[in-house]
Amino acid sequence: PASRLDARSITVVGLVILAAFTVDAAASSWSAVHLTALGAVAALAPAGFAAYQGGVLVARLVTDAALRRFGRARLLALALVLGVVGGVIVAAVPSPIGAIVGFAVSGLAVGALVPIAFGLAGAIDPARSDEVIARVNLFNYAGAVLGAVGVGLLTDVTGSGAAFLLPALLLLAAVPAWRRSAR
């Protein structure tokens, strides 16, 4: 019989995936609503998501080289910090241009976090990486719900700015993954 997989490691890496996909779903579902609430004209409202996706694209293009140069632990730490900073900018800067910058920074973070997290998942038990990655990927779905539904519910209660703090707080909760990868 196969040995048990390390559930703690799967959960820790899963938190990174959960946080990243919460940011992703929040940006895709609510960035235009947030920019409109900040007074953006209708033509500018999609720019937040475009900036986010641009950040993801740039990060995906450079993450492999950055991993080789800086190492997984440092890059994960940088991406977590960027994600928190991006979320705080989106939440706290009361202008459409500021929020667009925050979405771009968040995209840079998520674009690096996802491949780093799946790399960490594959390293938990390399002989069974397919099983580990399948389990870690479950956190993706929870993140998508939190980002799309959770941020939407919070928007009704707190306004869109404060609601975007949820993804930033989840990125902070993912710090144990960074600490674990540093070991």
Q: Check residue 174 and give its pLDDT.
A: 86
Q: Check residue 182 and give its pLDDT.
A: 57
pTM value > 0.95 = no
Q: What is the largest CA-CA distance in the chain?
A: 61
Q: Check residue 183 and give its pLDDT.
A: 58
CA 127 to chain centre: 27
- End-to-end CA, the chain: 29
Name the token pair of 111: 């674009």
Name the token pair of 175: 């710090």
- Separation between Cα atoms, residue 99 and residue 95, nearest integer Å: 6
The DSSP output letter for 164 is T
- pLDDT tens readout for residues 42-89: 999 999 999 999 999 999 999 999 999 999 989 999 999 999 999 999
14 contact partners, CB below 8 Å, separation of at least 6: 135, 136, 138, 139
161 contact partners, CB below 8 Å, separation of at least 6: 34, 37, 38, 90, 91, 92, 94
SS (H, E, C) 33-93: HHHHHCCCCCCCCCHHHHHHHHHHHHHHHHHHHHHHHHCHHHHHHHHHHHHHHHHHHHHHC
Q: Check residue 144 and give its pLDDT.
A: 96
Q: Check residue 176 and give its pLDDT.
A: 75
Taking 50 as the pLDDT cut, the residues of the chain under it are: none
The 3-state DSSP class for residue 95 equals coil
